[in-house]
Chains A and B, each alone.
Chain A
């Protein structure tokens, strides 16, 4: 039997901005085909961790290995190769404002494939259809609602059929129906194409429905406070952060006082 290697492996990663550390010394592995969800309160460093995983920032310490290769030390060509295998949806969408949705989704196809133009258009249309935007092909991002922008950004992230998709809060700003459809999309893609998902989200429903595994970060201890199957964590975890998150308790009702923020 051949052992399955993790597709992403984060080792003793410390990251932050300038001299403020946001996340300290975290390690975890993500297996191919897994739906992996990063949880945590607002401002605890989920986006920061994600940006370090995709090599936008150089970690302060530790490494991120994608398929066993480190983005920071990889040569230019190797780096391009790794980067082409993943798609990213940023928290704010980051659509190119001067292009229509169709052009936004076609851009990576034009740059990285030599498909016939008609094929590119068709691929872009089918990706936009996946997120139910097949009627908004020629709209400009500025003329879209927030949720539509988000869905278009997901379509663009999927343009090149990546093997890993990083989604930063895909469900935020979507109505419950779109949000549920998005969960279905994630599940279908992971089943049909074996895509690995790394998702930041707060939506408890989506977490229960889609996640294979979650990690939870916390702002005060600056590291992983819990990891595992979310349904199991919800029902069995004794950890105060986890309980508060899954049962939506505000901090003053949480029972025991928080020792580590007494100084604040």
Chain B
């Protein structure tokens, strides 16, 4: 048990049991502010415990007339004494309180002794497993209905383009596409540079560095371009979608939209999906071109003319590679933007909920990308693209 020494200028405080003409009572004395209370807390509880134990169910008077000063911590001490005494089956009766102090006590004396009924129940393992399972079920159902609703609305958009809020789409395009141009170009350039450089070093041993452009073009256009762009999209925009929609959900803005007869889907989700669909292919192209610039730099530094690099890239990258990559980019865009919005809509209540949704948006986005990429690899293999 820790001891709490009093500060130097503190007049002191004490709670002691004594005999007052044969009957037992508690004497509460001194300055009951935070340091004073901390100082006497343990001994006061012990004194009350002993005193009440001897009483066998009768009232235990507590003489408070010698309290010089009392604030919230002093009140807490008296409440504690009451609780200890009550646990022994006796009742604490305060006497000699000044009017001021009794006013303060009156404000809190109805505070209940028993906390047990208030403490939320701890759930057993079976219960928690059950909860987790039913939550997964609900989440899956929400996802299915989200996909369904989104498809219906997107199909509706094709028939009635005027129902889309194009201004929002444009704004979202700027946030998703234009604002990410720098990081896309930078990462593309660096990846092109690093991959070409590393493979050139290995291939140089066989005099094969001339094949670097072939490799770079294929890898970037078919695989890395769409993949890395989508991952960047998940990190930058998927998370932002989830945070924005999640915050709106917490502030009851989604409810407000719904009660105004406006579908949050059409209002918030569709513009984001459309902007991702429009921007991600462009971002992928930017990424690819930037990586070629990086590769070209390596080849130039190895002493090859630029035209060797470009002609080899364009000879070996076919239209099918380019369009295959673009198709991937489109699918990834829908997955990442969709799951971002979905996680936003699924936000529960509380401030930490938005953080959870954001994390979950990025993680699920990347998992979906990986799965989809695997499916594409199999499909491309059988289609011989």
Interface residues in chain A, defined as those with a beta carbon under 8 Å from any beta carbon in chain B: 96-98, 113-116, 118-119, 122-123, 125-130, 134-135, 137-138, 140-143, 158-159, 161, 185, 188-189, 191-193
Q: Once the chains bind, are B350 and A126 in contact (CB under 8 Å)? A: no
Interface size on B, as a range, is: 35 or more
Chain A residues with CB below 8 A from B107, complex form: 129-130, 185, 188-189
Q: How far is the CA of A134 from the CA of B118 in the complex (A)?
A: 9
Q: Once the chains bind, are B118 and A135 in contact (CB under 8 Å)? A: yes
Q: Once the chains bind, are A118 and B80 in contact (CB under 8 Å)? A: yes
Interface majority SS on B: helix, strand, loop or mixed?
Answer: helix
15 A-B pairs (CB sep. < 8 Å): A98-B351, A113-B34, A113-B73, A116-B2, A116-B41, A119-B41, A125-B76, A126-B76, A128-B111, A129-B111, A137-B118, A161-B72, A188-B104, A191-B100, A192-B104
The answer to whether residues A193 and B2 also contact, given A135-B118, A138-B118, A143-B349 and a CB cut-off of 8 A, is no
A218 smallest CB distance to B (angstroms): 30
- Let me know if B315 is at the binding interface, CB within 8 A: no
Q: How far is the CA of A116 from the CA of B45 in the complex (A)?
A: 12
Q: How far is the CA of A123 from the CA of B76 in the complex (A)?
A: 5
- Let me know if B110 is at the binding interface, CB within 8 A: yes
Q: Once the chains bind, are B108 and A138 in contact (CB under 8 Å)? A: no
Interface residues in chain B, defined as those with a beta carbon under 8 Å from any beta carbon in chain A: 2, 4, 33-34, 37-38, 41-42, 71-73, 75-77, 79-80, 100-101, 103-104, 106-108, 110-112, 115, 118-120, 250, 349-352
Partner of A115, one of B41, B250, B349, B352: B41
B74 smallest CB distance to A (angstroms): 9
The answer to whether residues A118 and B79 also contact, given A97-B350, A138-B120, A193-B71 and a CB cut-off of 8 A, is no
Q: Once the chains bind, are B79 and A126 in contact (CB under 8 Å)? A: yes
Q: Once the chains bind, are B103 and A188 in contact (CB under 8 Å)? A: yes
Q: Once the chains bind, are A119 and B351 in contact (CB under 8 Å)? A: no
A75 smallest CB distance to B (angstroms): 22
**B111, closest chain A residue (CB):** A129
Q: How far is the CA of A114 from the CA of B35 in the complex (A)?
A: 8
Q: Once the chains bind, are B34 and A122 in contact (CB under 8 Å)? A: no
A180 smallest CB distance to B (angstroms): 14
Chain A residues with CB below 8 A from B4, complex form: 114-116
Q: Once the chains bind, are B34 and A134 in contact (CB under 8 Å)? A: no
Q: Once the chains bind, are B103 and A191 in contact (CB under 8 Å)? A: yes
The answer to whether residues A118 and B111 also contact, given A97-B350, A135-B118, A161-B73 and a CB cut-off of 8 A, is no
Which one of A96, A97, A123, A193 has the highest number of Cβ atoms from chain B below 10 Å of its Cβ?
A123
B221 smallest CB distance to A (angstroms): 46
A95 smallest CB distance to B (angstroms): 9
Chain A residues with CB below 8 A from B352, complex form: 97-98
Partner of A134, one of B2, B80, B104, B110: B110
Chain A residues with CB below 8 A from B250, complex form: 142
Q: Once the chains bind, are B100 and A115 in contact (CB under 8 Å)? A: no
Q: How far is the CA of A140 from the CA of B115 in the complex (A)?
A: 16
Partner of A114, one of B38, B75, B106, B349: B38
